[in-house]
Amino acid sequence: MVDKSAYLYLLASLLLWGSAPLVEKLALGEADPVTGLFVRTVAGGIAISATVALTGGLKAVTSVSLKGLGLWATSGILASYLGMLAYFEALKRLPVGKAVPISSCYPLVTALLAIVLLGEALSWKRIAGTALIVFGVWLVSEARLPWEVGM
């Protein structure tokens, strides 16, 4: 049985992740992407550190294996540093309504890499979903609809 609170967490993530790019776009008018990423990371680090300290989670952190720590560190460098830096550079140069949908296609990359690297199954559902993602990105980024001529 699915824990129904999971849907509340999904709603919260949707609202939080959906509003953050607007704040980031405004903030990029005040600072370059590296500075913004630094401030964002420090603020997030303080919030996470406080959460771990207040919930007694430090013991859980110290029980993670060296391999696990390495994997989490790699994820942090790929997503929280390099990915966010590239995203902020794009967000600074593009309208938020264009940059966010395109950068939000990372599940497409994840799905393809999961097939290649983790041996996950390729199904018609996955192919159809991937096609819809590609079509959606094209629609948001380059497509001109008949009523948009001259816009």
Whether the predicted pLDDT of 124 surpasses 80: yes
Q: Are 80 and 41 in contact (CB under 8 A)?
A: yes
Q: What is the pLDDT of residue 99?
A: 86
Residue 111 pLDDT greater than 90, yes or no: no
pTM of the complete model: 0.78
- pLDDT tens digits, 41-76: 999 999 999 999 999 888 888 899 999 999 999 999
By CB atoms closer than 10 A (0-12, 13-18, 19+), residue 113 is exposed
Q: Which of 68-72, 102-106, 128-132 has the highest mean pLDDT?
A: 68-72
